[in-house]
């Protein structure tokens, strides 16, 4: 039903032809229910080239943790589908359908627990909370993350602060890891600059328990 509404909105807005970036996004989301998010990046490609005639469509798949199979299955047919509905001025060599650059956020946190008997449960709860929080697909425990938006340290600390009744945060180390055209990067979260192609995901977290 959701996909039907998306297709209908697209037909009404553009009479079957793709004109605006909104037209393209509606069409992409209606093409397959395996697509969670899509964004349009004009004048830039995922490898950093900037040419005004280029159009990149960045797709986040719902099953992204399982790998790129579903993306590769639909990328070619989707591109052809879009080109058939695009103005003649848009040529195939300037249209790109790509996956996001996944930015894995890893949190190491040292906490003092108030109830020693509940230390294992507290540790498990923090790990699960962090894993859900950095899930870009909206669901239980996560509102999702938009492609092109990365969390700030203050946001993560605020999320950890929701556990203050059970644990006291003593120290945190937050790093990000990603691979782009320039290679592999591991940085402090304050040093990474988001691009329109990036999307957050959960990295490996560590919770160190101390006793008061």
pLDDT in tens, the chain (212 residues): 454 445 555 544 555 678 788 999 999 999 999 999 999 999 999 998 999 999 999 999 999 999 999 999 999 999 999 999 988 888 999 999 999 999 999 999 999 987 777 788 889 999 999 999 999 998 765 678 999 999 999 999 999 988 877 888 999 999 999 999 999 999 999 999 999 999 999 999 999 988 87
For residue 142, what pLDDT is reported? 66
For residue 150, what pLDDT is reported? 96
For residue 143, what pLDDT is reported? 76
60 vs 71: CA distance, rounded Å: 8
Q: Apex CA 79: angle with CA 63 and CA 183, to 5°?
A: 60
For residue 12, what pLDDT is reported? 47
């Amino acid at each position: 039903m959701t996909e039907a509404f998306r297709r209908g909105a697209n037909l009404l807005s553009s009479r079957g032809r793709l004109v605006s970036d909104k037209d393209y996004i509606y069409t992409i989301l209606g093409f397959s229910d395996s697509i969670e998010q899509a964004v349009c990046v004009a004048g830039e490609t995922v490898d950093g080239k900037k040419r005004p005639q280029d159009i990149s469509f960045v797709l986040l798949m719902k099953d992204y943790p399982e790998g790129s199979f579903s993306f590769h299955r639909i990328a070619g047919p989707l591109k052809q589908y879009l080109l058939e509905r695009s103005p003649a001025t848009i040529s195939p060599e300037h249209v790109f359908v790509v996956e996001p650059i996944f930015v894995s956020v890893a949190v190491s946190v040292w906490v003092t627990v108030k109830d020693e008997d509940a230390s294992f449960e507290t540790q498990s709860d923090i790990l699960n909370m962090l894993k859900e929080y950095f899930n870009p697909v909206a669901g239980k425990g996560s509102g999702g993350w938009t492609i092109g938006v990365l969390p700030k340290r203050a946001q993560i600390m605020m999320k950890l602060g929701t556990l203050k009744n059970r644990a006291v945060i003593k120290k945190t180390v937050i790093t990000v890891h990603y691979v782009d055209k320039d290679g592999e990067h591991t940085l402090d979260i304050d040093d990474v600059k988001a691009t329109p192609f990036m999307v957050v995901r959960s990295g490996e977290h560590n919770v160190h328990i101390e006793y008061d």
